[in-house]
Amino acid sequence: MSDSHAAHGHADAPGNNSPFFQHHFVTMTQQASAAKLGMWLFLVQEVLFFSGLFMFYIIFRYLHPDTMLWASEHLLDKTMGGINTVVLLFSSVTMALAVRAGQVGNKQHQVTYLAITIVCACIFLCVKYVEYSHKFHMGALPGHFYSYAGNIPGEPQTFFALYFCLTGLHGIHVIAGIIALLWLMKRSARGDFGPTYYAPLELTGLYWHLVDLVWIFLFPLLYLIH
């Protein structure tokens, strides 16, 4: 019955008087590291989620290399894809800067960098919209909806299924990212984040980098093959 643990003696640990401290944790550090591990695990499952589609890509390319080459060369716009790659890479930089601004508690910088990140994400979606509408126009669509007049070898309707699945799922992730970033911007403007509490910024940053990374794979795999 001796030597009891002073569980409630942590009130003086850094961050434990923060309004964002959740009391089922012992310290703010424990809370932050739990959140971070949770986010990494979530990202692992995201990678596996996309992996099914990448497997689809590998098998399709193995079965119909000619379709892939032809469609990629003639119907995907390298310039637009390239612009989007640069835009997303740049948004990752501003995201990282926003996290840094959160760590040092600079409210003004957080808001600015988050705003730039959101603008980049919107530019990405606009470019994607132009690309998509072009394909809708030509009838370069998946499965039953395929009505493209040009003569593509192999199974072009499946190639466009692959294209829309991969970029569409990625696009949904970009939209989810924008929602998270808007929420962060609101909280940053309110002054929620500082040296002891910046986990939401950091976690959204991790997510945003993954979304970026997926595109870094998609761009060469779809646009740059030859």
Partner 1 sequence: MASIAETHTGPHDGGHHESYLTAKRGIASWLTTVDHKRIGVMYLASILFFFFVGGVAALLVRTELLNPGKDLVEHAVYNQLFTLHGAIMVFLFIVPSIPASLGNIVLPLMLGAKDVAFPKMNLASYYFYVVGAILFILTIVLGGLDTGWTFYAPYSTTTSTSVISATFGAFVLGFSSIFTGINFLVTIHKMRAPGMTWDRMPLMVWALYATSLIQVLATPVIAITLLLLICERTFGIGIFDPALGGDPVLFQHFFWFYSHPVVYVMILPGFGVISELVTVHSRKGIFGYMAIAISSVAIAFIGFLVWGHHMFVAGESSLAATVFSFLTFAVAVPTAIKVFSWIATMYGGSIRYTTPMYYVFVFLFLFSIGGLTGLFLGALAVDVQMHDTYFVVAHFHYVMMGGTFIAFLGGLFHWWPKFTGKMYDERLGKLSAVLVFIGFNVTFFTQFVLGSRGMPRRYYTYQPQFHTLHEISTIGSYILTAGLLVALVTFIKSLKSGEKATANPWNGMTLEWHTESPPIEHNFAEQPICRRGPYDFPEIDESAAGARH
d(CA 6, CA 99): 34
151 binds partner 1 (CB under 8 A): no
- Near partner 1 in 55-74, by CB under 8 A: 55-56, 59-60, 63
Which residues sit opposite 219 in a β-bridge? none
| Subset of residues 163 to 202 that bind partner 1, contact rule: CB under 8 A | 165
Given 15, 105, 142, 194, the residue binding partner 1 (CB under 8 A): 142
Paired with 197 in beta bridges are 194
Q: Which of 86, 76, 92 is nearest to 130 (CA)?
A: 76
Position among 80, 158, 180, 209 found at the interface with partner 1 (CB under 8 A): 158
124 binds partner 1 (CB under 8 A): no
Q: Does 37 bind partner 1 (CB under 8 A)?
A: yes
Nearer to partner 1, 18 or 106 (CB): 18
- Residue 180's contacts (CB-CB under 8 Å, 6 or more residues apart) are 204, 207
The verdict on 145 binding partner 1 (CB under 8 A) reads yes
User: In terms of Cα–Cα distance, which of 20, 18, 44, 31 is closest to 206?
Assistant: 44
Two structure tokens written together for 108? 């003004």
User: Residue 204: which residues within 8 A CB-CB, separation 6 or more?
Assistant: 95, 177, 180, 181, 184
The answer to whether 45 contacts partner 1 (rule: CB under 8 A) is: yes
Instruction: By CB under 8 A, name the binding residues for partner 1.
Output: 1-5, 7-8, 23-26, 30, 33-34, 37-38, 41-42, 44-46, 48-53, 55-56, 59-60, 63, 142-145, 155, 157-158, 161, 165
